[in-house]
């Protein structure tokens, strides 16, 4: 193996490990902003794949660029749909669009109730 391949493989494995560890340790509160950032990075890869597909450097690069454009587009669209779905969970019950059931409590309401319960327990008013 040449040194270029070895160093490229080393960087790939190290980046994979570091990326896995960083994503694994992200608290749930940051998942939605992190997904939005990931969608932005996927958008950049979409632009790069468009450049490769349109560069006309040969048949193989055009085919691989087209596959990359398709995969990047699916990634970007799916990421925005999932992010939008996650953000809908944090809307207050009053702001729910018409036609929604409104059965699930809002995150803000749940947080207010939880803080009130914890405050009451801490001050000794829980039994009153």
Q: For residue 122, give Cα distances in angstroms to 25, 28, 84, 109, 119.
A: 30, 26, 37, 20, 5
> Per-domain residue ranges for the chain?
31-91+105-123
d(CA 25, CA 83): 19
Phi and psi of 26, rounded to 5°? Answer: -75, 130
**pLDDT above 90: residue 18:** no
d(CA 115, CA 98): 29
Residue 109 CA from chain centroid, whole number: 24
Summarised one tens digit per residue, pLDDT across range 56-70 is 888 998 999 999 999
Summarised one tens digit per residue, pLDDT across range 87-125 is 787 777 665 555 445 545 566 776 777 777 767 766 765
Mean pLDDT, to the nearest integer, of 65-94?
83
**pTM summary value:** 0.49
């Amino acid at each position: 193996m040449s040194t270029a391949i070895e160093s490229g493989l080393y960087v790939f494995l190290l980046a994979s490990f570091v990326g896995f560890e960083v994503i694994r340790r992200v608290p749930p509160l940051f998942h939605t902003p992190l997904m939005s950032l990931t969608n932005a990075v996927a958008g950049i890869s979409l632009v790069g794949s468009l450049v490769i597909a349109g560069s006309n450097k040969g048949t193989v690069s055009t085919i691989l660029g087209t596959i990359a454009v398709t995969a990047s587009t699916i990634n970007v669209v799916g990421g925005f749909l999932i992010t939008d779905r996650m953000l809908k969970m944090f809307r207050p019950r009053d702001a729910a669009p018409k036609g929604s059931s409104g059965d699930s409590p809002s995150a803000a309401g749940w947080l207010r109730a939880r803080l009130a319960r914890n405050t009451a327990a801490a001050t000794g008013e829980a039994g009153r």
